[in-house]
Amino acid sequence: MLTFAQDYVDIFRIGYGETFNNDFEGTNSSTSIRSFEVGLTFPVVLNDNHALITGADFSANNLQLFPEAERTSLYSTNIKLGLASTYSERWSSTIVLLPKIASDYNDISSDDFYLGGFALLKLQKKENLIYRFGVYGSQEAFGFFTTPIIGWYYLSPNKKFEMDMSLPISADVSYDLGKTTIGMDYFGIGRSFNIKKENQPDTYVDLSSLEFAAYWQFNFLDKSVLLRTKLGYSSNNYEVYTDGDDRTQLNPEMKGGFFAKIEAIYRFNLPTKQDKTLENQ
């Protein structure tokens, strides 16, 4: 029978955040970074052993790339298309393609299109413990980026303490207090965006992102609607380069800063083995 690592699927997610006072090294200037993200994931069960993974994500980041410069908006839209498969009670896999368009969305062309994806092999060690092994890869303006994925999902017997780890990309540790949940999360990945402006050479932004946050989550409608308030530190560095050059950075290094964020999540709770047993009685 097809199973998921958790007893739920996050169908819809939306968030807005702002990082304050990211200083440019060697200057007296700084910039704030405003971010907006929205994502949809919709699995379609094909049979007892396979489910089609579909969905899309959109993000927008607005900031100054140079000291005292006008603000620039960087956008990314990706489609999710993949397959989740179960081979036995212990082994399963997820393979997802992630084609995307990432740029300032001025004069969109094939140069703004990138292809990425990830593959995961999962081992169900115990009923409440699953190990993950895989790889993530993405074509970017600076070349092909890839990283291995090693992680696990753990839920304590009382279903209060939860760990969802996919290192080095993401991590989430939380404790359920009932109507609220407290937790800490991490997200880190490299991305790029093409920049096209009239009468200027084409450039691209190489974003190196590491975000650490603590959150307080409010649970509504039997934990189907979640509202998170987050505070944390981001080391986001937006490096600007000319297309096709020898990687000479055009803007000063950007220092990290503290950020605040609010997220809303719609979570579909899957029936547990106990629920199914009761239904069949």
Q: What is the pLDDT of residue 280?
A: 40
Q: How sure is the predictor about 5, in pLDDT bands with cuts at 50, 70 and 90? A: low
CA distance 85 to 163: 22
95: Cα within 13 Å, side-chain hemisphere: 4
| Average pLDDT estimate for 10-22 | 95
Strand duo 203-220 + 116-126: pairing: unpaired
- pLDDT single digits (tens) 191-228: 999 999 887 888 999 999 899 999 999 999 999 999 99
Q: What is the mean pLDDT of residues 55-74?
A: 96
The 8-class DSSP code of residue 87 comes to: -
236, 254 Cβ separation under 8 angstroms:
yes
CA separation for the pair 256, 22 (Å, rounded): 6
Nearest by Cα to 21 from 12, 11, 32, 10: 32
As beta bridge partners, residue 175 has 161, 182
Query: Per-residue pLDDT tens for 66-121?
Result: 999 999 999 999 999 999 999 999 999 999 999 999 999 998 999 999 999 999 99
Question: Are the C-beta atoms of residues 154 and 171 closer than 8 Å to each other?
Answer: no
**Contact between residue 173 and residue 152 where contact means Cβ atoms under 8 Å apart:** no
pTM above 0.85, yes or no: yes
